[in-house]
Amino acid sequence: MRTKTTIVLMMLVTLLSSTSHARVGWQPGLGKADPNWYGHYTHVTERNGKESALNFLVLSVRELCDALSKRDFAELYADLGVNIAKTGITRLGWKPGKGMYETDWYGHYTHVTERATKEDGRDKLISWFGTLHQSLDKQGFAAFYADAMTKMASYGISR
């Protein structure tokens, strides 16, 4: 009886561990998985403009939200949240504070791990992307886009 219980428990653990989030599996290269900052920057400045870049940011963060574990998405959320705040402070004169103005990585991280769902975090990022899209000039948004996309590419490739 004890052996059967042990076998059943081992099978259950194996089954549960195999149903966790799948790897994202982005292949390094062009598009969303391009680790080249300059390629993303010129996507905005020379080829497709701010609107296309905003759409690509939204699609990429949605895909990562769906694929990453909550902990991994919280890390991405914190990385992007700090980048958004620093971009606003540097380029738009924002004052550091909470939410979109927060420069503390851990504050962003715990927002997703302790107080919100991944989807809440995703929706906040999308809203913040929209704020920067409206507020920054083409070169400023291109620089933010390149920073964000290279960060998302690193998560999409490595996780």
Task: Please provide the DSSP assignment of 33-94 as one string.
Answer: G---HHHHHHIIIIIIHHHHHHHHHHHHHHHHHHHS-HHHHHHHHHHHHHHHHHHHHHHH-P
Contact call for residues 41 and 143 (beta carbons, < 8 A): yes
How many other CB atoms are found less than 10 A from the CB of residue 106? 11
pLDDT at 15 over 50: no
Looking at residue 36, what is its pLDDT?
87
- Tokens encoding 151: 């960060």
List, for residues 88-145, the tens digit of each pLDDT value.
999 999 999 988 999 999 999 999 999 999 999 999 999 999 999 999 999 999 999 9
Q: Is residue 17 pLDDT above 50, yes or no?
A: no
Query: What proportion of the chain, given as a percentage, has pLDDT over 90?
Result: 70
Q: What number is the average pLDDT over the span 37-48?
A: 93
Residue-wise pLDDT tens digits, 76-92: 999 999 999 999 999 99
Confidence (pLDDT) at 23: 65
- 26 in Cβ contact with 156 (< 8 Å): yes
Distance CA 22, CA 68 (A): 7
